[in-house]
A and B are shown apart, each in its own frame.
Chain A
Amino acid sequence: MKSLHRIPTWVQALIFFLVVGVVVQMAFAQGWLSEYWQQILMAGTILAVSALGLNLKYGYGGLFAIGHAAFYGIGAYASALVTKDWTTQWSGSPVGGLAGLLGIEAGFIAAAVVISLLDIGHRRRRLRERLEELVSPFEASVLTTTLTILVAGVILVVVGGGVGWLVRRAVLAVGPSLFGVLPEAIAQQVVFLVALIAGAILAALVGFVVGLPLLNLTYDYLCIATLGFGIITYVFFNNADQLIPTMKGARGMVAIPRLTTWPWVLGVFAVAIIVMRNFIYSSTGRAILAVRDDLTAADTMGINSYQYKVLAYTVGCAYAGLAGGLYAHLYAFLHPSNFTWLKSIDPFVMVVFGGVGSMTGTTMGAYVFVTLLEGLRVLPAELIDWRYVIYPLILLFVMLFRPQGIMGTSELGFLKRPKAAAEEPEKVSASEKATSESTASGSEG
């Protein structure tokens, strides 16, 4: 009955974010924090959102994937294209960018839904089995692969293209009048919100499409393959002006409206962390943890491990895209060099330093990282270059002396595992805990 006396977690979270938001906003308004430190605080919070995504992939999902910066970049560029179009109308219509982006996303989702409804993977396997009775396995695989590519291609072009075109036309037709009703300032904020969400969805879609084949690989190969994807994306960003001139490729995209403000950053962070908390303590979240802890055991318990890996990866990518959108509108300038694979290591350092599989730790890690990197600017000029020497050293020392990170897997405040879900006695060793978790989620699913 102890839990009755406690304050409900949602009230705790509300109070926490209100207090933090108001205090920091006051600090900004009163000028207690310089413009420079305001930006750093916002950058730290944005990085925390991105690192939370990586924590889902690596900390909770156990997927050693290092292409996070690519998805950060996809979200950043996509949302920047939408809002920039709203102000400059380079495509001829204020909602041109939005219409294009939503069209692509709707088309992809429609095609993916149709492909999964038709159960193509399963049909392909059955066809292959039947063909193998007639011809050699190699010939059978050639035939089924060709057929699958053809069918999927036709669905993508017909369904995806059709739905995408319809959505694009609809947004182009309705968008201007819909936003025209609102006052200019509010309309811009609404567009910004839609752009952020659309950017996150695009990152998730790309993550999904990339993850589908790659998540069959185990971690060394997954690491190299995702790293490769990161480099391909970087090359794409560098040459993107061939495709979309406003992205400016290697020259860097400029004049993105500065829309990221403290309320936006904190709001997104609050939503992100609360969604992550509820997600990871749900039965789906427990299944993801079970897959991380013991893939074979999870499979035996009837958890479709591959499906949960793809889910964790996709949601993680969405977080990166969301953070990328905020980032683009904070600095108003995007350059491909901000999304190289070396930048994928930054969120890694945060997660590893703060605590692998801890939201509190990851957030802390993000702030420590940003503060350290920027705080060390006060060093005398000849020592400034040491900043980037120190941060891999932190990574090395953490790995050698505390591989689970500062926080380990523990959480603070409202991020703690709810009591009802943690029925097992307090003092259970980690391995036993994992087994009981996988058993619990297995029997539910």
Chain B
Amino acid sequence: MDNKVIKLLLRALAWGILALVAGVVVRLVGGVIIDSPVTFVQQMLNGLQLGFMYAMIAVGYTLVYGVVKLINFAYGDIFMVGAFVSFFGITQYGFSFVPALLLATVACIFLAVIIDRVAYKPLREAPRIAALITALGMSIFLEYFTALKFVFSPDYIAFERPFELVSWEVGGIRFTNIQLIVAGVSILYFLGVQYIVGRTKIGKAMRASAFDKPTAQLMGINVNAVIGATFALTGALAGTAAMLYATAYPQIFTFMGLQPGLKAFVAAVIGGIGSIPGAFVGSLIMGFTEAMTVGFVPYGSTLKDGVAFILLIAMLLIRPTGIFGDPFEEIK
């Protein structure tokens, strides 16, 4: 047979297989949309809300990973502390929404910087695994320490919303003001972080430190201060995200940071760890997948954690660097 014919046949086969797979996927998704369009759109909105929330946490993970090459496992617990601090602000001092948000943000900035100073800074030159184990230890410590009775509480606490929940219905689809606030704040933060990392002097220093720490130091950059600033920035993200999360899902407990923290990290890996737009996109995918699993898969609400991690493992196998590359290179 002619070489050209074989070539053509092989190409046709390859694209045929791809078309088949795509067709099955489209049929499944399309079937869902045609069967219950209202539920689909509603779940998509829920997924977006979740995704925007994850995005703020994921950007924090990605920033720290980009600069210090460390998975900050304690990040989910900083988030949890933020939720509790805003809770105390609201119940004890009668704070309204914005002061409570600021209080949580400031508290988390301090906590993140302190954790960096106490736990991670002494291990800067140690093998990376030592810092990773320390981060794990820090995370467990924060969870159990804050669960003590005189610190926060071992119980589930109902979070008082600082403002009324308003919802509108358009064609059977329910919007809430919380969704709008979450999306707005999340996008604002995303743009803010992009601006800080991409356009300011400290951002330049962050990029330089991420790229090559010893050389950055030689160029007169105080790398430890830059790392401190990175942790402060992630603390701000965690505090704000925590307050919004608690407002959207009004129940707080000391292990609440575990699942969102892990999933946001997974989202960051899917998007490409170290990439800020990647963290954002990955989070939206994550939130979307989770909401769809809950909405359309049998026993979805119990399976959603598993699905999130199946997504992760699939991504790691196909493209370990995630959807986007290294951010500190891209944002010039």
Contacts and interface: CB of A to CB of B under 8 A. Distances in A.
Contacts of A382: 149
Interface string B123-140: 100111110111011111
Contacts of B11: 135, 139
Contacts of B6: 134
A306 interface: no
B147 A131 contact: no
Interface of B, helix, strand, loop or mixed by DSSP: helix
Given A221-B269, A228-B312, A235 B306 contact: yes
A214 B17 CA distance: 26
A34 B140 CA distance: 31
A140 B299 CA distance: 38
B29 interface: no
Interface stretch (B237-245, B282-290, B313-321): B313-321
Contact of B132 (A131, A140, A220, A388): A220
A31 interface: no
B145 A225 contact: no
A290 B157 CA distance: 51
B140 A232 contact: no
Q: Give chain B's interface residue range (CB within 8 Å of chain A).
A: 35 or more
B149 A392 contact: no
A403 B133 CA distance: 10
B137 A385 contact: no
A238 B139 CA distance: 24
B324 interface: no
Contact of B313 (A214, A391, A393, A396): A214
B302 A238 contact: yes
A226 to B, nearest CB: 10
Interface string A239-279: 10010000000100000000000000000000000000000
A386 B148 contact: yes
Interface string B97-138: 000000000000000000000010011001111101110111
Interface in A381-418: 382, 385-386, 388-389, 391-393, 395-396, 399-400, 403
B14 interface: yes
Contact of B134 (A213, A389, A400): A400
A139 B14 contact: yes
A224 B71 contact: yes
B133 A348 contact: yes
Contacts of A219: 128-129, 132
Contacts of A220: 69, 71, 128, 132
Interface string A330-371: 000000000000100100100010000000000000000000
A214 B317 CA distance: 7
Contacts of A223: 71, 132
Contacts of A140: 14
A154 interface: no
Interface string A121-150: 000000000010011000110110010000
Contacts of A234: 305
A382 B149 CA distance: 9
A239 B265 contact: no
Contact of A135 (B7, B269, B317): B7
A213 B69 CA distance: 23
B302 A239 contact: yes
B130 A399 contact: yes
A102 B276 CA distance: 49
Contact of B154 (A142, A250, A385): A385
A393 B316 contact: no
A386 B154 CA distance: 12
A342 B144 CA distance: 12
Nearest to A227: B262
B10 A235 contact: no
B14 A142 contact: yes
B269 A396 contact: no
A352 B145 CA distance: 21
A352 B130 CA distance: 10
B33 interface: no
B74 to A, nearest CB: 10
Contacts of B262: 227, 231
Q: Give chain A's interface residue range (CB within 8 Å of chain B).
A: 35 or more
Contacts of B127: 403
B249 interface: no
B59 interface: no
A395 B3 CA distance: 64
B129 A342 contact: no
A225 B312 contact: yes
Given A142-B18, A342-B140, A231 B305 contact: yes
A64 interface: yes
B297 to A, nearest CB: 12
Given A139-B10, A214-B313, A385 B144 contact: yes
A47 to B, nearest CB: 17
A389 B306 contact: no
Contacts of A281: none
B14 A235 contact: no
B213 to A, nearest CB: 17
B180 interface: no
A217 interface: yes
Given A231-B305, A232-B310, A400-B122, A389 B144 contact: yes
Contacts of A232: 306, 309-310, 313
Contact of A385 (B147, B269, B303, B312): B147
A172 to B, nearest CB: 31
A236 interface: yes
Contact of B140 (A242, A345, A352): A345
B148 A385 contact: yes
Interface in A305-335: none
Given A232-B310, A250-B302, A342-B140, 4 more contacts: A228-B312, A348-B133, A393-B137, A396-B138
Interface of B: 3, 6-7, 10-11, 13-15, 17-18, 69, 71, 119, 122-123, 126-130, 132-134, 136-141, 144-145, 147-149, 154, 262, 265-266, 269, 299, 302-303, 305-306, 309-310, 312-313, 316-317, 320
Interface of A: 64, 66, 131, 134-135, 139-140, 142-143, 146, 213-214, 217, 219-221, 223-225, 227-229, 231-232, 234-236, 238-239, 242, 250, 342, 345, 348, 352, 382, 385-386, 388-389, 391-393, 395-396, 399-400, 403
A-B complex: 4 closest residue pairs judged by Cβ atoms: A228-B309, A235-B306, A395-B137, A392-B141
18 contacts: A64-B129, A142-B18, A143-B13, A214-B313, A217-B320, A219-B128, A221-B320, A223-B71, A231-B305, A232-B306, A236-B306, A388-B147, A395-B137, A395-B140, A396-B134, A396-B138, A396-B141, A403-B130
